[in-house]
Structure 1
Amino acid sequence: MNSNYKNFVPAKSIPFVEFLINEHNFTLKIVNQRQTKHGDFRQLPNGKFQITVNNNLNKYQFLLTLVHEIAHHVTHQKFGRVQPHGQEWKAVFQHLMLPFLNPEIYPKDILPFLANYLKNPKASTDTDVNLSLALRGNIAESGKSFIFDIPFGDLFIFKNTIYKKGNKRRTRFECLNMTNKKVYLFNQNVEVKKYDGK
């Protein structure tokens, strides 16, 4: 069993996490950051199950991602092949998260957003802007800014491409890709680099 996960989760959550890992048969691997996902669950060619979680997440993000992936494993064991983030997974995920909805594990400024998200959890926590920001302590990665902090009409860089920030739609910003002149919608919690013209 991979016990170095203990450094990655809130201390008070360790007994619950340990129980889940012992109860469900899988290997946990902590891996380098991936741009497109925080974690994943898969069946290996040898029939064994593996969960991976990115090592750059803070303790609260890591715990939520780990339980999200364990929920995929449990759903797979109980129901076989079903929609990846369908009703079965949602019910399992909600059930597995209950012991963690505790102010000794998640700070009071995260709990209400987490409880709200769990009413109808989505494939990615990043689609829930309020929860995503709360999990990050409303602080962007070093050298980056949240897109909502970029002034209207300013240029910014996202994935090596320059964009110009435009109007806000209901929950997202219209941004013009300066290379292909197409407009893309960005969630408010996307982290981008300010463009300084160099």
Structure 2
Amino acid sequence: MKETLKKYIPEKAIPLVEYLINEHNINLKIVNQRQTKHGDFRKLANGKMQITVNNNLNEYQFLLTLIHEIAHHVAHVKFGRVQPHGKEWKTVFQHLMLPFLQPEIYPKEIVPFLAKYLKNPKASTDADVKLSLALRGFKAETGKNFIFEIPNGSVFQFKNKLYKRGPKRRTRYECLQIQTKRVYLFNQNVEVILIDNSI
């Protein structure tokens, strides 16, 4: 397990993560990227618990996702059936994440955003725009832009569909899907491919 973890999480986090995996008898599976989630926790038909985490996450995203899912496992064992991201999960997640909030594991550029997020963690880290950007090193994937970086009125591609970026509405952007003429709201940290900004 140690050799596998070395590829995915900061080195200083390995002993802590190994302890959690062994202590809670975690069955961890690293899987190919999924569009809708970074990781998940489920009870299998044979009664065993399984955690999956996407293999395309950087080491800081991977670690946070893994602890998020371990917290689901621990909350399930401790409290039984509860709200997936209710107060029981939040308490367990905060407790499990605290030992990782140190500059040897998370860089100082991330720690303040992570600490703030942990005061009231959400179902997805992507819902916290500032933390999501910090975890990605404030850089979009090669060949992509964050939606807030592209000009208003420009055309972009997201999940093989074309959209036209519209105005910002509080925290999200109104975007018109060109084919259906329907308006969708996009979080400002969504990564898109800019097609045409001359409109």
Kindly report structure 1 stretches of 4+ aligned residues shifted beyond 6 Å. Answer: none
The one-letter amino acid of 2:147's match is I
* 8 A contact 2:2–2:18 mirrored in 1: no
Q: What corresponds to 1:97 in structure 2?
A: 97
Q: Which whole-Å CA distance do the structure 1 matches of 2:43 and 2:25 have between them?
A: 11
Alpha-carbon distance in 1 for matches of 2:180, 2:140: 27
Q: CA deviation at 1:26?
A: 2.1
Residue 172 (structure 1) aligns with: 172
Partner of 1:111: 111
Spell out, residue by residue over 1:64-101, the C-alpha distance to the aligned partner (whole angstroms, 9 max, x if none): 00000000000000000000000000000000001000
2:46 matched residue in structure 1: 46
Per the alignment, residue 186 of structure 2 pairs with 186
Q: Secondary structure at the match of 1:51?
A: strand
SS in 1 for 2:120: coil
Summarize deviations over 1:153-177 as a string: whole Å, max 9, x none.
Answer: 1110111111111111111111111
Deviates more, 1:173-182 or 1:130-139: 173-182
Gaps of 5+ in 2: none
Tell me the number of residue pairs that the alignment of Structure 1 and Structure 2 aligns: 197
Residue 179 of structure 1: SS of its match in structure 2?
coil
* TM-score scaled by length of structure 1: 0.97
Q: Is the 1:26–1:48 contact (alpha carbons within 8 Å) kept by the matching residues of 2? A: no
Q: Is the 8 A contact 2:172 2:186 kept in 1?
A: yes
Q: 1:10·1:59 contact (CA, 8 Å) conserved in 2? A: yes
Q: 1:81 is matched with which residue?
A: 81
Residue 13, structure 1, aligned to residue 47, structure 2 = no
SS at match of 2:192: strand
SS across alignment from 1:195: strand
Q: Which residue of 2 aligns with 1:158?
A: 158
Name the CA distance, whole Å, in 2 between partners of 1:123 and 1:172.
Answer: 18
Is the 1:2–1:29 contact (alpha carbons within 8 Å) kept by the matching residues of 2?
no
Q: Structure 1: which 5+ residue stretches go unaligned? A: none
Secondary structure at 1:168's aligned position in 2?
strand
Alignment identity in percent?
74
Mapped partners of 1:5, 1:159: distance in 2: 30
Pairwise CA distance, 1:3: 4.8
| Distance of 1:43 and 1:108 partners within structure 2 | 36
Contact persistence 2:2–2:14 (CA under 8 A): no
Q: What's the CA shift for 1:195?
A: 1.1
Q: RMSD of aligned C-alpha atoms?
A: 1.2
Letter in 1 for 2:19: F
CA distance in 2, matches of 1:55, 1:162: 27
Q: 1:72 and 2:72 equivalent?
A: yes
Contact 1:125 1:132 in 2 (8 A): yes
Deviation at 1:196, TM superposition (A): 4.0
Give the whole-Å Cα distance in 2 for the aligned partners of 1:145 and 1:7: 26
Shift of 1:179: 1.1
Instruction: Indicate the residue corresponding to 2:127 in structure 1.
Output: 127
Normalised TM-score (structure 2): 0.96
Deviation at 1:188, TM superposition (A): 0.4
SS at match of 2:167: strand
1:2–1:28 Cα contact (<8 Å) kept = no
> Does the 8 Å contact 1:33/1:55 carry over to 2?
yes
